[in-house]
Structure 1
Amino acid sequence: MHHSEVVPSTVVHDLRQGLTVHGPSGPLVAPLESSLVLPCYVDELLPMEGLEVEWKRTDSETLVHLFLEGESRPEAQQQDYQDRAHFFTDQIKNGNFSLRLNNLRAEDEGRYTCTVHSQHDSGETVVQIKDVERLLVSGSSHSISVSVGEDVTLNCSVDSHIPPEHFEEVSWRKTDEDILVLFYQKNKTFPDSSDDRYIDRVEFFTAEIPKGNFSLRLKSVRTEDKGVYMCQVFAGGLSANATGVLNRMGLSVSHIMVLIFCITASGSALLLWWLIYCRSKFFTDPIATRHVRTLGVLHAFLPNIMMFVAFVLWGVTEGFLYETVSCCALYIQRPLMLIYVAPYLEHMSDLALQSEYFLEIVVYSSVLFSKALGTMVHYNVSDKIMMIIIFGIMILLCVIYFIYSLQMSAIEVPHAKAQEEATALVECALTPRGHEAPPSRSSGPRGDPKRVPGGGAEDSASLHP
């Protein structure tokens, strides 16, 4: 326990101009939970017979302590002061009626009157406890449960002899990850100092700050927000903190929709696969083949579109921009890739496939570059320039590859057509005269050779001299 030192005053308060009672030189200040002496004494020795000393709160007339008939009377004390307020009983015979107040509380601030009654005279003095130096921070007494997407308030109330506008610093941190959530210093809030995931989602109740209320409002709660949060206050060389726990996260409507889309995507993929498998043995039937091809297109597109929508909803709810963009790019590209490799479907052109590759690389590179920019804020200039050059080279190589692919496709297509024409001419040349050639596009509805004037059948042999 700490004891406060007081300087006796020459200023006295008299009652009936008889007994002179001395008090302190001015208001008293002491730390919270310390011991404080409230001075009250007289210069002359008083007989114990008929002596009465009474300590009271002047604002409420609460009896703090009483000395009567040669002994202290703790049973007469108001309950809040029992076992806390004591006379120096061995000093009373010397005229020292000071009171020691232990375990000082904030509510002990105020004015106290020491009244001394002797057989013939009376006198009093007033003692003021101006400030109980304290810094008490209180938070939520229990963990908080909230659904994702809702707003939540984490409590932080400060009780101090120092006005809130003179607080040196107030900070909210997520202790399990050591992340700065919100910062207050010298009567000003600094939202830009918050971690990226909390920017534009946290705020103080500005109107409540003068009352010592530094509760934190967290908007649009995400799954990653679960954890322990600490409100820490620094003021007048003192520091104190309180913690709050954001515990269980309930599912929001968006999360339920994401779950539905994921289940539907999986179910549709399995169902369509089973239908394709059951009908695959009828590939020789043109009608069945068309059905299988339709199911194949649905199998390629439907589950991926559902997963694309699910990731968009997840990104909007959780704020995972980079992850969402990457996954959405993947689920846009997958249907075309599935169609390309499907054995029962017409393959798409190489140019379309290369375009997909190019698009995917550009999207992924852009996401990585954006994420790198966010993490290299504290890098020096040379490192930043190096990162930009590396990503620039990557994009440039992609562009060069895409242009090269276009040129190669332009060269290969005429070459392939020329090869097909040459092959057809060779086959025609090797076909013997009189041998029936396969039906041409000029054949009739049943494949019979189309008759021409003159009665001869038009066949491939007639093309040769």
Structure 2
Amino acid sequence: SGLIFHGPSGPLVAPLGSSVVLPCYVDELLSMEDLEVEWRRAGSETLVHLYQDGESRPESQQQDYHDRAHFFTDQIQHGNFSLRLDNLTAEDEGKYTCKVHSQNDSGETVVQIKHARLLVSGSNVSISASVGEDVTLNCSVDSHITPEHIEEVSWKKTDEDEDILVLLYQNNQTLSDSSHERYRDRVEFFTAEIPKGNFSLRLKSVRTEDKGVYMCKVFSGGLSANATVELERLGFSVSHIMVLILCILASGSALLLCFIIYCRTPIKGKCVTKIIFK
């Protein structure tokens, strides 16, 4: 077993319906005479594809792989025995063995396929905030999906008769103009965090009508997933309460002053204002 194979360092992750290349290659040139390459499902006799007598042998494939598994035929002479598998199905997930036999050497390597599962997470608890404050609604996408493969992220308020679009990310850019007028200029993504899969939303100057359920929905590679966050208990901040108290006190003082002025104004007689302090 003198052949040294090169392949992926970990499982190949791909969405259903896509194509994936299963790497299998060596650095040295092998004699094409009596060269045989076979790809099988690991631990079984299922033949995915076979190269023998200088050509591919699709007639030997298991029926499930007809017209879906292909060699890079012109690269085999250079030591590249990789296999392209098209139109991935759920049944394709698993390990595959690439076995190579030549006149002088033989060897094998194993490649694993995993389906891309779009995972989106939000907050496990309801978020509370005070009117006028800023609040963050959490939304994170599984880290193995890179931003360039994320087609769309939308934030919507979903607890009313119809969904209200809060903010939209599409084609690698934030479309702020698409926001409903209620949220325009009050919402934004944390731009520096997007490459990490963080699509959390900052909602500024919270209003009482902002209370409700928000959904973060992500589309990638034909898959979609979502997470919800509830914004509740919208109270007033300490500063708002202090302003309200001052307004009440000021209103009371103004009424008292008006009463005093009114009573000290003579109308057909005398008006005596008597204030008793205890």
For the aligned pair, the TM-score class normalised by the smaller chain equals 0.5 to 0.7
Distance between the aligned counterparts of 2:197 and 2:152, measured in 1?
13
* Residue 38 (str. 1) matches residue 21 (str. 2): no
Which residue identity lines up with residue 39 of structure 1 in the other structure? Answer: Y
Which residue in 2 is equivalent to 1:211?
Answer: 196
Distance between the aligned counterparts of 1:271 and 1:218, measured in 2?
42
Distance between the aligned counterparts of 1:31 and 1:134, measured in 2?
13
**1:396-416 superposed Cα distances (whole Å, 9 cap, x missing partner):** xxxxxxxxxxxxxxxxxxxxx
Secondary structure in 2 matching 1:220: coil
Distance between the aligned counterparts of 1:34 and 1:176, measured in 2?
38
User: By how many angstroms is 1:257 displaced?
Assistant: 3.6
Distance between the aligned counterparts of 1:34 and 1:267, measured in 2?
76
Which residue in 2 is equivalent to 1:155?
Answer: 138
Going from structure 1 to structure 2, the CA distance change for 1:186 and 1:141 (only over 3 Å counts) comes to same
Distance between the aligned counterparts of 1:244 and 1:225, measured in 2?
12
Distance between the aligned counterparts of 1:136 and 1:196, measured in 2?
30
User: By how many angstroms is 1:238 displaced?
Assistant: 1.1
Going from structure 1 to structure 2, the CA distance change for 1:180 and 1:285 (only over 3 Å counts) comes to same
* Residue 26 (str. 1) matches residue 90 (str. 2): no
Alignment check: 8 A CA contact 2:93 2:115 kept: no
User: By how many angstroms is 1:195 displaced?
Assistant: 1.6
Distance between the aligned counterparts of 1:220 and 1:34, measured in 2?
50
One of 116, 125, 128 as aligned partner of 1:145:
128
* Residue 238 (str. 1) matches residue 229 (str. 2): no
Which residue in 2 is equivalent to 1:173?
Answer: 156
Alignment check: 8 A CA contact 1:27 1:129 kept: no
Which residue in 2 is equivalent to 1:89?
Answer: none
Which residue in 2 is equivalent to 1:136?
Answer: 119
Higher relative contact order (CA 8 A, sep 6+): 2
**1:171-194 superposed Cα distances (whole Å, 9 cap, x missing partner):** 111112321111111001111111
Normalising by structure 2, we get a TM-score of: 0.57
Which residue in 2 is equivalent to 1:252?
Answer: 237
How many aligned residue pairs are there? Answer: 201
**1:84-124 superposed Cα distances (whole Å, 9 cap, x missing partner):** xxxxxxxxxxxxxxxxxxxxxxxxxxxxxxxxxxxxxxx86
Which residue in 2 is equivalent to 1:187?
Answer: 172
* Residue 226 (str. 1) matches residue 211 (str. 2): yes
User: By how many angstroms is 1:255 displaced?
Assistant: 2.2
Secondary structure in 1 matching 2:241: helix
Going from structure 1 to structure 2, the CA distance change for 1:224 and 1:26 (only over 3 Å counts) comes to same
- Determine which structure has the larger helix proportion and give its number: 1
Secondary structure in 2 matching 1:135: coil
CA RMSD of aligned residues (A): 4.4
Alignment check: 8 A CA contact 1:144 1:247 kept: yes
Going from structure 1 to structure 2, the CA distance change for 1:179 and 1:276 (only over 3 Å counts) comes to same
Which residue in 2 is equivalent to 1:198?
Answer: 183
Which residue identity lines up with residue 224 of structure 1 in the other structure? Answer: E
Unaligned runs of 5+ residues in structure 1 are: 14-19, 44-122, 292-465
Going from structure 1 to structure 2, the CA distance change for 1:41 and 1:253 (only over 3 Å counts) comes to closer
Which residue identity lines up with residue 215 of structure 1 in the other structure? Answer: S
Which residue identity lines up with residue 185 of structure 1 in the other structure? Answer: Q
Going from structure 1 to structure 2, the CA distance change for 1:246 and 1:27 (only over 3 Å counts) comes to farther
Which residue in 2 is equivalent to 1:458?
Answer: none
Which residue identity lines up with residue 178 of structure 2 in the other structure? Answer: S
Secondary structure in 2 matching 1:197: coil
Distance between the aligned counterparts of 2:190 and 2:228, measured in 1?
18
Unaligned runs of 5+ residues in structure 2 are: 1-15, 27-35, 41-81, 101-105, 274-278
What aligned pairs does 1:32-431 form with structure 2 within 5 A after superposition? 36-40=93-97, 125-129=108-112, 132-159=115-142, 162-177=145-160, 178-264=163-249, 267-268=252-253, 271=256, 279=263, 283-285=267-269, 288=272
Identity %: 62
Going from structure 1 to structure 2, the CA distance change for 1:37 and 1:31 (only over 3 Å counts) comes to same
Secondary structure in 2 matching 1:248: strand
User: By how many angstroms is 1:138 displaced?
Assistant: 0.7
Larger radius of gyration: 1
Which residue identity lines up with residue 221 of structure 2 in the other structure? Answer: G
